[in-house]
Chain A
């Protein structure tokens, strides 16, 4: 898939025969990780001439199923149990025989149609309440390439989440990460949540580390040793063009754009000591935020852009701190353990995720921004590190060595429902979750 395609706008979302009210069921009925709400996702009805949409009809359903499975709320009823073949049955509430779906245990149902003519793609997707025999939401999507069925499926999965939880799901987004799957060196990759659309975006026998997304999802900030020194780069993924933003001698590490995209925070090295600086869009220093002999590293912005969390060992061991964006008000926020690093501020603003050492192992924790209610989300085997939040603030992607090599996992914010996202060779680390693509 060309890079340009996964960023292209999915055009013309119009509402098709939707009912105004949301599903009766809400998040209280099924909790995070419960995997309990039974839903059937039928392949689309192919309304293309000569069956050109047949594969897309199945692919749509596969991706919706994969997304809903990651969400951890739904029990997906296996396709082999479905009685109604998609191509010979209706897709509107009037046409569907809901008994065929309630008899296999479905409480919710996805049906729809696809038309693929040349490059034009039209998908109609509908979500039904089986018990009430009515449509909950319907959408018509248009794409300018058949490959956009993937983004359309992610969009509709987010819609299903909105219907059942009141909040849009996180699936129309991308994850960038570092991987050694190409060999012994570290390069950057981008993929969608179901592991598809995998793109290698940097190459070379070097170390490309610590990526983070721009707020428009077009580019990645990252640190690379490609010219010898660990410099900070901005890689425009659409134009395939790169700018070196900061090349101070020593570390230029962990660059993160502010939520309004006007400046970035980064750790720069001054005589061996790392401190947090704010740079403008051209890489010029605006302000030095920390000036302490301890290690200060890994800035993460609050969603309102007024504060940053960061890691500092000024107390003697690494802990998580918060500082105002003007450099005032430094205070510690992690209260448990004596090794806490890699903070990530939730898009909801209320919690900070981080990596903490407990019992000799590294695990993902969250803490409220006032320092209360520390929660350990992972435990057991392996190291679980470098959390990054989904745009809806309800899911976290992280890197785990629980099966040997490091792979990326997704879990919800209470730590239930931990599912592997990658399965390849090599180590997959330093994941960063984009905003919604639209």
Chain B
């Protein structure tokens, strides 16, 4: 595998991908490991990949999560500030690509929540793009209510789950 020490996290995901037997199209954190400025903490894996490796979804990371009001995909002031910070990080790591995941809390039905998650991810992507980040560095995916951070049936947990979570995919 070469001259670099591959981060332990990346090895974990490489094993998870091959042992689950699926050839996932999305780039995993094993690619681009060790690229300048991207350490193993940055490459935490997207929420489904993490679940396949037996991990819970990550909360935050080098790029911070933003949160939404119930049944909404509007960015409030706090969300916009967070996305501005995320955009700064992306400017400092000019080769990094990002997948923005849209999530919802558990209330409501599966299909509507998948569509709502898609709107949330897209809202975050569109805003970051207006801040000067090239859109071809930004992809989106919705997981609806399927990959929550927590499963309690209360407002605190619901608020945590109503999020757009950004996953660094590594550089080309």
* Chains A and B belong together in one complex: yes
Whether a CB of chain B sits under 8 angstroms from the CB of A206 is yes
- State which residues 269-321 of A face B: CB under 8 Å: 269, 271-274, 295, 297-298, 311, 313, 317-318
- State which residues 195-246 of A face B: CB under 8 Å: 204-207, 209-210, 225-230
- State which residues 12-29 of B face A: CB under 8 Å: 20-26
CB nearest to B54 among chain A residues: A184
Question: Given known contacts A250-B142, A342-B112, is B118 in contact with A274 (CB within 8 Å)?
Answer: yes
Rounded to whole angstroms, the CA-CA distance of A230 and B114 in the bound complex is 10
Whether a CB of chain B sits under 8 angstroms from the CB of A45 is no
Question: Given known contacts A206-B22, A206-B48, A227-B24, is B122 in contact with A271 (CB within 8 Å)?
Answer: yes
Whether a CB of chain A sits under 8 angstroms from the CB of B141 is yes
Rounded to whole angstroms, the CA-CA distance of A269 and B121 in the bound complex is 12
On whether the beta carbons of B110 and A297 are closer than 8 Å, the reply is: no
Q: Which of A250, A311, A357 touches B111 (beta carbons < 8 Å)?
A: A311
Rounded to whole angstroms, the CA-CA distance of A206 and B119 in the bound complex is 22
Whether a CB of chain A sits under 8 angstroms from the CB of B40 is no
Smallest CB separation, A94 vs chain B (Å):
56
Whether a CB of chain A sits under 8 angstroms from the CB of B88 is no
Q: Please count how many residues in chain A sit with their CB below 8 Å of the partner chain's CB atoms.
A: 43
Chain B neighbourhood of A357, CB < 8 A:
107-108
Q: Which of A226, A228, A298, A362 touches B107 (beta carbons < 8 Å)?
A: A362
Whether a CB of chain A sits under 8 angstroms from the CB of B75 is no
Whether a CB of chain A sits under 8 angstroms from the CB of B39 is no
Whether a CB of chain B sits under 8 angstroms from the CB of A267 is yes
Rounded to whole angstroms, the CA-CA distance of A185 and B53 in the bound complex is 12
Whether a CB of chain B sits under 8 angstroms from the CB of A115 is no
Whether a CB of chain A sits under 8 angstroms from the CB of B94 is no
Whether a CB of chain A sits under 8 angstroms from the CB of B109 is yes
Smallest CB separation, B119 vs chain A (Å):
5
Chain B CB within 10 A, most for which of A204, A205, A274: A205
On whether the beta carbons of A386 and B109 are closer than 8 Å, the reply is: yes
Chain B neighbourhood of A273, CB < 8 A:
118-119, 122
Chain B neighbourhood of A297, CB < 8 A:
111-112, 114-115
Question: Given known contacts A229-B141, A250-B142, A317-B71, is B110 in contact with A429 (CB within 8 Å)?
Answer: yes
On whether the beta carbons of A298 and B112 are closer than 8 Å, the reply is: yes
Whether a CB of chain A sits under 8 angstroms from the CB of B166 is no
Chain A neighbourhood of B59, CB < 8 A:
none
On whether the beta carbons of B26 and A228 are closer than 8 Å, the reply is: yes
Whether a CB of chain A sits under 8 angstroms from the CB of B51 is yes
Whether a CB of chain B sits under 8 angstroms from the CB of A46 is no
Smallest CB separation, B138 vs chain A (Å):
11
On whether the beta carbons of B24 and A386 are closer than 8 Å, the reply is: no
